[in-house]
Amino acid sequence: MWHVKKYDELELDELEEILSLRQDTFILEQESFFRDIDGRDQDALHVFKKEDSTIKAYCRMEDEDDHTYISRVIVNPAYRGQGFGREIFRYGTELAKERHPGKIVRITAMSYLLDFYKSFDYEPISEEYDIAGHNHIDMELTP
């Protein structure tokens, strides 16, 4: 089942699971030492697929003045290889377009996933740059 919640609508168990998934994947697994808890969660929408009381995939969505920003896209490691990455990103993109029609949807992508995001019609808008030891590129989907 899909869930779209504001920060104050999250159950404490959901918040803990989301932060744990983000820490385990971005900080520990990818060895990307950055401040994941960045003060932006309170103003974001938290989008996730939850089945059998387990979050299988997650992303965060923020509404900016001229664009909508999708970030923290993650698949629970126990459920990788089952298409959840495509599902969460497709759902997040469609939700962004539905809630903010006419706005650009922007992401910061790890460079090795460029073709994955291009398959959703996102296009690069920057050169590659480093974040915490990994190459990234900014991409956007124009309406």
Burial tier of 13 (Cβ tally within 10 Å: 0-12, 13-18, 19+): exposed
pLDDT at position 23: 93
**Residues 64-112 pLDDT 10s:** 989 999 999 999 999 999 999 999 999 999 999 999 999 999 999 999 9
**Residues 20-47 pLDDT 10s:** 999 988 888 888 877 788 999 999 999 9
Across 46-71, average pLDDT: 96
Residue 112 is classified by DSSP as: G
74 strand-pairing partners? 58
pLDDT at position 30: 81
56 vs 80: CA distance, rounded Å: 9
- Report which of 10, 74, 19 is spatially closest to residue 45, judged by C-alpha positions: 10
